[in-house]
Amino acid sequence: EILLASQNIDQNTTSMLAYTAIPVDMQEYSNWLNEYIDILDLKSNLQKFLFGKTFSKEILIDSSIKTEMMGSKKLVKREILIEFLEDIANLLKERRLDQYARFNIYSIYVRYVLSILLGTRDFSISVDLSRISWKKNVIIIKEKGKYKNAGYRAIPLCTLSHDIIKNYLSILNRLGIADRSIVLYHKGVYLSSTLVNIKKVFKAFDFYNRNHELYERIDLIPLNVGRHIITTMATAAGINRDDMNAFMGHAINGGELLGIYSFHNIKEYSAKFEVILNEISEIYQLKDIYTNVKL
């Protein structure tokens, strides 16, 4: 497998590749294969066999050239995502905001930040905050799975996601909201914070016309952007496939990574991803805007 830089690709690996941005020519493998070919003198021998003579031995891949990236089309550039989140937080500076507008701005911001730190999808069940172990520092979310006991993800909480969730839940309690999930207030009811509902609530803001450009960016930046960021960073850090599958919720039948019969080391898995998620929170300048909400 290492010689051919290839392996069997199952359905889970296919989706993982779609989340990851990698060099278009897989340069590390390309350079290694070229070096291996030179050591064994395979190139000249193959040329003799095919053409009856030897050509040059030049290196085909120049490591000094910056390669084009391929893979995920939803991996948003760092500076764009930082500016986007700052612009959402700055909506709290708008004048004459009522309680519900402030709550909705806060919810939208929390939804995007936690999508980055928890790697959630754009589902209503992706924002369920009801199953958290503060002692184990982990949140359990069920996003997929045909059966009652399948499709669960045990997501480690980094320092920032821990604080954001605790503060958001305290706001829900203060406002008397029974839901234990990220919700939006719209015309007397609380809605789940999917992209469709975020756009609906944003259009209802009094300041919508002044911030139409921000609305357009909401439509462009996916709510599962964190899955692309985390997968790319974890892949670059050399995180093994079992840990990646556990975090992303991509386990196959017979290879489930949670439960009493699993061989997966949850403690090691959690420790690895806490480090990565803490780094992501710093790289993307994520923060908790709880003190600015003033509800």
Please name which of 59, 60, 63, 58 lies closest in space to residue 23, comparing C-alpha atoms: 63
| pLDDT on residue 61 | 40
| pLDDT on residue 245 | 82
| pLDDT on residue 178 | 92
Kindly state the tokens that stand for 215: 């609305």
Please name which of 39, 4, 17, 42 lies closest in space to residue 241, comparing C-alpha atoms: 17
The answer to whether residues 182 and 111 touch, using CB atoms and an 8 Å cutoff, is: yes
| pLDDT on residue 1 | 44
The answer to whether residues 214 and 88 touch, using CB atoms and an 8 Å cutoff, is: yes
CA distances for 248 relative to 12, 26, 166, angstroms: 10, 23, 23
Please name which of 169, 176, 171 lies closest in space to residue 134, comparing C-alpha atoms: 169
The secondary structure of residue 68, as a DSSP letter, is P
The string of pLDDT tens digits covering residues 143-189 is 776 666 667 788 999 999 999 999 999 999 999 999 999 999 999 99
Residues 6+ apart with CB under 8 A from 49: none
The string of pLDDT tens digits covering residues 9-20 is 555 555 556 666
Looking at the DSSP bridge assignments, the partners of residue 21 are 71
Q: Are strands 21-23 and 189-192 parallel, antiparallel or unpaired?
A: unpaired
CA distance 211 to 164: 25
Q: By three-state DSSP, how is residue 132 classified? A: strand
The answer to whether residues 261 and 149 touch, using CB atoms and an 8 Å cutoff, is: no
Please name which of 40, 193, 44, 20 lies closest in space to residue 120, comparing C-alpha atoms: 193
Q: By three-state DSSP, how is residue 262 classified? A: coil
CA distance 223 to 121: 6
Q: Where are the beta strands (DSSP E) in the chain?
A: 21-23, 69-71, 132-133, 138-142, 152-156, 183-186, 189-192
| pLDDT on residue 156 | 93
| pLDDT on residue 241 | 80
| Number of CB atoms found within 10 A of residue 284's CB | 20
Q: By three-state DSSP, how is residue 70 classified? A: strand
| pLDDT on residue 124 | 82
Residue ranges in the chain whose pLDDT is less than 70: 1-30, 50-51, 53-75, 145-150, 251-263
Length of the chain: 295
